[in-house]
Structure 1
Amino acid sequence: GNSLEMTYILNNNSLKFHYPDCKSVPKIKDKNKEEVRTTRDELIKRGYEPCKICNP
């Protein structure tokens, strides 16, 4: 797994997570968007899926 803490953008509607510079981030509605500093493993444990575009 990857235990490095990073900043990720969550889409709480689609349950995907993104790198902050992913080109799909600006399309996320503000009410669904959340910025978190955590590990990739932790997000997957919480039920989020990595974005297929930016591959975080």
Structure 2
Amino acid sequence: MRGGVKHFSLSILTAPDLQTQQFYHQRLSGELEYLERFRPFLRELRLEE
């Protein structure tokens, strides 16, 4: 898992308000979509964690 995903996961839990939580949730969703889309390429390049 990329460092950004871990960071945003923790940020959602510690966000001070709902708006900030929603912002981090949207960013996390984007990170996960990115990983899923490019996983075959990352695997071939041996960059997958």
Structure with the higher helix share, 1 or 2: 2
Tell which structure's C-alpha radius of gyration is larger.
Answer: 2
Q: TM-score, length-normalised on structure 1? A: 0.23
Structure with the higher strand share, 1 or 2: 1
